[in-house]
Every structure is written in C-alpha cells, then in structure tokens.
Structure 1
C-alpha cells in the first residue's frame, strides 16, 4: 500500500477564482456523513474501495539492546468516524504499525512504524451543495496522515488531514503547523476475536480535541475554512472502532 497524494493537475489561478466565486454563496453548507467506500480517487479513476490488509512489512527496527522475544510488532486497522467543524465523515480504513516492549532498564518502549490511508470524499465538496459532488473541479476529499506523535500505551496520537481537490494546492492541510492531537478513551473492554492468529477488537473515542484551521490552501483558504467550520475549538468527535494483530519479533520472517 502507498499513501495517496493530492492531485498534480490544477487549473490556472484565474479559473480557480472563477469557480470559487460561483460557489462562494454556498460555502457555508453543512456536510452529510460519508461512507468508507466513497473515497474520492485523486488519480481520476473510480473511487477507492480496497480494504487494507494486516501485514508485517512495516515493522520498525528495534532499539539497541532489547530482547526481540519480548517485543511485538502490532498492526491495527480502523475506519474512524470523524466530526470536525462542519464535516462528518467515516474515513476510509487506515492501517498503523508500531512496535512495543520493555527497554533494557525495564521501562515501556515504543517505536513508530508506518501509517497507510486513502482519501475519503467530503459530501458537498468545496461548496457544500450537490454541485460539489457532481462537478469534478468542486469535489473535496480528506486524507489522514501521521502527525509525528504517538503513545499507544496511553491512547495519545496526532494526525494531520490533507485536503484534496483539483482547485487546492498540494499542501492544503488541517493541522499543517501543529497536528491535531487525540487522547483516545476506551469505550469498553477489548475483545479477542481469534487466538491464532491473534486478533483483538477495541473501541475508543475522543470528544475533547480542538480542530485548527486549514493552511496552505491558496486563494481559497478563507472560504474553505468557513465552509468546513474551522477552526473548531470544541464540538468535535472521533470514534475509533479498530482491530489489531501482532507478532513477536523473534517470530517475524527474516528480511534480506
């Protein structure tokens, strides 16, 4: 799997401005809920529908001096439901990989591996109207990206959200300067779905995070933030239903 990036084909600034002016009156419209299968493919092909598969190719190298038999590589997959500002979507499935285990001094250790995600269409696109879904130039998608901080012992992690549209620059991102920080709280106990191979399900949520404004979006930055209801210091929600599997490092296949 590879991370999807923003469109490389964009119209001239004049054309952007013309389209923006045509839809400006509707930019404050609210979005409805999207489903994981409605991802807006930024390559011009059909919407992405592939589900990520748990694999161990992203397992990171271990810290020096630790015991591989006591460290495990975890791969977890989730399709989070996100309400942020005026946008409510069910994100296309994301996969995260990390390692955890005891350090030589007995403290808990973690090493980040990788994150893979696909874009999810934002209903109503740039305008929040039917035209935003029907006119390709007005479509809008959101793609979560790793924000550089994670602590899977405590449920803390950070994300950035790249905004993808033919009318937006590549770097248009929510959380560009400082990522969105989540502190997930468990909704209930974990459930073992399988012992061999191990497969554990859990649910968590965060209703306390603040959503910053989008940045790097060119001439449409102000209109886009009003359309999305950003920044949103409160009233946001991430619900996170996930499954994860793991393998001890001494049981991982040897790499060449």
Structure 2
C-alpha cells in the first residue's frame, strides 16, 4: 500500500503545479531544444545520506541559482553580480509520508557596491571607502505554491557588509531580526530549459531592520542605506534557475535500497512539481 499512497501524494503534488503554470503563463516558454540554462549547477553539497527509512526512489537533491536581478534595501540598490546558490533535499517524510524539503546549504560570493560606503558615485574605489556585500542564510527556507497558484519561496537572510572600517561583524539584518523574503513567481516568466526551470521571483513586502555589529559607524551604515526601512520601500527581484536530480541518479549505489517496486527515473517537470508541493 505504501507505494500506492506515495503515488497518490505525488499526483496531488503535481496537481498543485497545474494552477501554478496557469498563473505564470498558460504556455510556459521553452528554450530551444538542446539549450541549457545560462548558469552553472553544482551538486557537490548534496548529502549522500537520507533520513532513516527514506526510499531513495522518492527523494531528490535540488539546486537553485539566483543568477541575476536586484535587491533594494532602503535607499541602497545592489545588482546581483555573483550567483547565489541554494541546495536542498526533497522527498517524502518516512514517518508521515508527507512531502518535505530539507535545506542543505547556501553559497554566495561578495559583490561590490558601486558607490561604496558613502553612496557617492566614483568613491567606491577610494581607500577605506569601498564596500562589498554578501548574503548569509538565517533560516526558514521553503518552497511552496500560493493560493493563487504561483510558485513561491520563503527565506530569512542577513546581509554582511565588508569594509575595513566596519569590522567583521557588520550586518543588515540579524539572526533574531532577519530580512525575511516571501518571493512569488512573476506572471508569464516561467521558462523550461533542457536541464532546469527558470523564472523571475519578486517580493516588495518585506521590511529591513537597522544594521547590527557595525560599531561606532553603525549610524553611517543606517544613514547610507536609509535603515530601518518599512515594508513597501524595499524590493527583491531575482532571476532564479532550479534543477534537480533523483538520489538514484546522483548516487547509483542507492538503487539497491529502493523500496518502491517498478519505480522509474522521474522527469524534471515531476521533480519540480513535487518540490513546490512540499509543506515545509
């Protein structure tokens, strides 16, 4: 009975994806045959272990790459010039048989703020006035489908500010008061590549707290970025790419552990649908 129950839940997850495809465009664009997404996916962070009792046939490892866009925090706008990569596991909880996502890692590189610490054009390259930012994961990551049928994602993060005068602990947002994003897919933006799905994801509802850990220059950071900044004054607009591989594909040795009789390698469309159908 368990394979049948899992199959029923997978069909339910796929059903959730149908209104999402309608909301994001009745006919999602398809890239030219043989065309892959214009970003690099790295499965190196995928754990080679699953929860106790998990069936590898029903689990996958997914990689999301934010490969472009902008993030506006108060009066400071930053282009996404370096990819931000998120790795997660998705599958069926062995205890409840419900679909779940498990966050694994978030990797990012420092990005240069063009107008530096003062926000004055041309000063970013001057000694002590340069400024870089880097995203740091705080918690609460999940993929889901909204009541309106849109693919969506939530994540709490903080932004590290790197400048020789600010020390090593200067952040916008903190572990207790993070920048909490609730991103929704933009209408008509879904595009399928051979190896991934792409979409634009946006949020204009989040607030941004004052800086923390910036020492005596904390006031300058808040003045530079216009912090704290209430909801409606900030925005996140990302070009997101998502790909996924089943655990039996990533780790062939796990095929001997498969419990679902007659299971076959799932298609990318099915993997994506089950990820966004997860409850947490």
Quickly name the TM-score band, shorter chain normalised.
0.7 to 0.9
Structure 2 match to 1:246:
244
Gap regions ≥5 residues in structure 2: 1-37, 145-151, 254-280
C-alpha distance in structure 2 between counterparts of 1:52 and 1:116, whole Å? 14
Aligned partner (choices 104, 115, 125) of residue 106 of structure 2: 115
Gap regions ≥5 residues in structure 1: 1-50
TM-score normalised by length of structure 2: 0.68
Q: Is 1:102 matched with 2:89?
A: no
Q: Deviations along 1:193-247, whole A, 9 cap, x unmatched?
A: 11xxx31111110000001111000110012101110110121110121111111
Name the larger-Rg structure: 2
Which of 1 and 2 has higher RCO (CA within 8 Å, sep 6+)?
Answer: 2
Q: Is 1:181 matched with 2:180?
A: yes
SS in structure 2 at match of 1:126: coil
Aligned partner (choices 198, 206, 210) of residue 209 of structure 1: 206
Q: Deviations along 1:64-97, whole A, 9 cap, x unmatched?
A: 2121111110011113410110111112211111
Structure 2 match to 1:63:
51
C-alpha distance in structure 2 between counterparts of 1:253 and 1:106, whole Å? 22
Deviation at 1:131, TM superposition (A): 5.4
Q: Is 1:231 matched with 2:228?
A: yes
Q: Deviations along 1:124-170, whole A, 9 cap, x unmatched?
A: 21111145313131111111111122012251111110000111110
**Would you say the 8 A contact 1:193–1:199 is kept in 2?**
yes
Structure 2 match to 1:29:
none
- Equivalenced residue count is 202
Alignment of 1:5-154 (within 5 A): 53-60=40-47, 61-78=49-66, 79-91=68-80, 92-104=82-94, 105-130=96-121, 132-153=123-144, 154=152
Structure 2 match to 1:25:
none
C-alpha distance in structure 1 between counterparts of 2:208 and 2:83, whole Å? 21
Change (3 A) 1:254 1:80: farther
C-alpha distance in structure 1 between counterparts of 2:121 and 2:72, whole Å? 20
SS in structure 2 at match of 1:133: coil
C-alpha distance in structure 1 between counterparts of 2:206 and 2:69, whole Å? 15
**Would you say the 8 A contact 1:131–1:138 is kept in 2?**
no
SS in structure 1 at match of 2:115: coil
Q: Which deviates more, 51-60 or 225-234?
A: 51-60
